[in-house]
Structure 1
């Protein structure tokens, strides 16, 4: 299968690049439409492709990603001894034209690509172990589907100094599922202009879209809203159970601490229970919510 080189990005303006992105689904969209992204919802992808929301304004984090991409790529090449080259193009799946790939680097002679990431120290836990975060595994397999590659490397710079890399081998079953999911989303949502279901990530979208209310207006919920009502009731009940479980665990820790201010577990400070000037003790979970 030969990949289509859809358009060159060598001298393409940023605005033109954004327009080309809207002609299909790229690697950064995949986790979102699968409902597995921590950063973006299916609704955001839908609105972006239809041009109904402005693109994210450039910010220091995005600028750092652009500036550090060649640094991460060169670091990967030096660390592994593998050659990497730019492609300067948007690629398109030959049989599924809505599947696009704007890849960071290609590894000649390997039939493989490289995705470069830059993140903060806060994300260090995402890279523990030998695998990569789910979002990037999906992104890599999407790229492999488009380019017919055998594997994809992911290089990440954490906190400006901690360099790591992973290799994601081609997963035929996952690619098959991604093709189906992307086909359905593109056809049933984008082309049909049918919005996907709202998710927990759409709170701000709803606040800004419906910021005003019509006085004394009402709506009758349709029959198909029943599963949603049931889900909400079940979630609220689970919250109550979780709150009781949390309070019980806290009290049991307090019972062990008694009048001590700090509690350690295997050498690490885990809990504090200190009194303020008024003599009121406040319990705190280190690294978590109170």
Structure 2
């Protein structure tokens, strides 16, 4: 199946980890946790718009599955159901023959590199390519262009390059459906890149050996919103009885920078997305350290700083109806009402000497 790749590096034959045709979802997930798959690469590189490297780490240790997100299950299910249709569109538009191989492959030299490929493409010159199927919507289709040029979103590009490395093939196609007819599909192609691949493998190996196998969580380096959501998902609700956290020198420096940006934002003549993003990134780092705790302290230049991250809980239904329900049907209230929670972040400075 693999193409000749003499110009890149020595060729290899991918090994079969398991036949996937008869696997249950639970069994399939268990095999996927034996290594790094193509869809994992963007997260471990810190460029995924959906999950952090810490989320991936928890998934590989079977602490929390990355798919356990009730907010995106419809999009995931739609993508799965439309996959055969999008593949058929690709075949019709290109004239290339496509086929599936119901196996999970692994790299013979790097056995933690896994590949469960959507489709393979039989090219006219007798070589093989990979086909990855994607679905999106009208609002997100612009991600497939960059400065007016056709491109593959970087979080999908990493997936294709991972698969090319495992399968030892030189070409990977993407077919993305964003509408409801054949013309509303995007077809892209990427070619193998030796320098990119070497660096990618190095970073994957570092993640696998120094975090997953060592059971050491990777640091949060992603955008603030993504980090805050990850912390919320993995630490659970706030605990007002949790010990107060003391920030070390590094985190104190981040807090000082956060306060500096806060002042810059007040003086800015117009909203700055760059300042907001930097503040949110710093805030995410501080919140990650706090975990369940609602309070953190530190000192800088004789000033005591207190950071609070307190829970704010409120019902998910209209307040008047909630009160009426509680009065008229207390048993139903207790059984069915759920309480949502968000947390309010604030910083207080005390100039009194410590």
Match of residue 35 from structure 1: 46
- 1:186 matched to 2:208? The reply is yes
Equivalent position of 1:21 in the other structure = 32
Query: Structure 1 residue 146 and structure 2 residue 163: aligned?
Result: no
Stretches of structure 2 lacking an aligned partner (at least 5 in a row)? 1-11, 273-354
8 A Cα contact 2:105 2:114, kept in partner: yes
- Distance in 2 (CA, whole Å) between partners of 1:169 and 1:246 is 46
Name which of 209, 223, 227 aligns with 1:202: 227
Q: Residue 254 of structure 2 corresponds to which residue in structure 1? A: 231
Task: Quote the residue 1:171 is aligned against.
Answer: 193
* Alignment of 1:115 onto 2:132: yes
Separation of aligned partners in 1, 2:15 and 2:180:
35
SS in 2 for 1:188: helix
On the 8 A contact 1:120/1:160 being kept in 2, the answer is no
Give the alignment's Cα RMSD to 1 decimal. 2.1
Q: Give a deviation string over 1:52-100, Cα, whole Å, max 9, x none.
A: 0144268221221111111111111111111111011111011001110
- Displacement after TM superposition at 1:236 (Å): 4.7
1:215 aligns with 2:241: yes
The alpha-carbon deviation at position 234 of structure 1 amounts to 2.9
Of residues 81, 85, 98, the one that matches 1:71 is 85
Which segments of 5 or more consecutive residues in structure 1 lack a partner in the other structure?
A: 250-290
Between 1:157-166 and 1:79-88, the stretch displaced more is 157-166
Distance 1:216 1:3, change over 3 A: closer
Partner of 1:105: 119
Q: Can you list the C-alpha shifts for 1:160-193, whole angstroms capped at 9, x where unaligned?
A: 3410110011011111011100100000000000
Residue 84 of structure 1: SS of its match in structure 2? strand
Instruction: Indicate how the Cα distance of structure 1 residues 132 and 219 shifts in structure 2: closer, same or farther if over 3 A, else same.
Output: same
Aligned CA distance change for structure 1 residues 231 and 19 (closer, same or farther; 3 Å): same
TM-score by length of 1: 0.78
Pick aligned residue for 1:126 from 140, 143, 149: 143
- Selected match of 1:8 from 7, 11, 19: 19
- Aligned pairs for 1:210-289 (under 5 A) are 210-215=236-241, 217-222=243-248, 226-238=249-261, 240-241=263-264, 244-245=267-268, 247=270
Measure the CA separation in 2 of the matches of 1:248 and 1:219: 32
- Scaled by the length of structure 2, the TM-score of the pair is 0.65
Provide closer, same or farther for how the CA distance between residues 139 and 248 of structure 1 changes in structure 2, counting only shifts above 3 A. closer
What is the aligned length? 246
Q: Is the Cα contact below 8 Å between 2:141 and 2:178 reproduced in 1?
A: yes
Select which of 56, 62, 66 maps to 2:68. 56
Q: 1:246 to 1:136 in 2, by over 3 A?
A: farther
Contact 2:36 2:204 in 1 (8 A): yes
- Rounded to whole Å, the distance in 2 between the matches of 1:14 and 1:150 is 30
Moved more, 195-204 or 240-249: 240-249
39, 46, 58: which is aligned to 2:57?
46
Q: Secondary structure at the match of 2:97?
A: coil
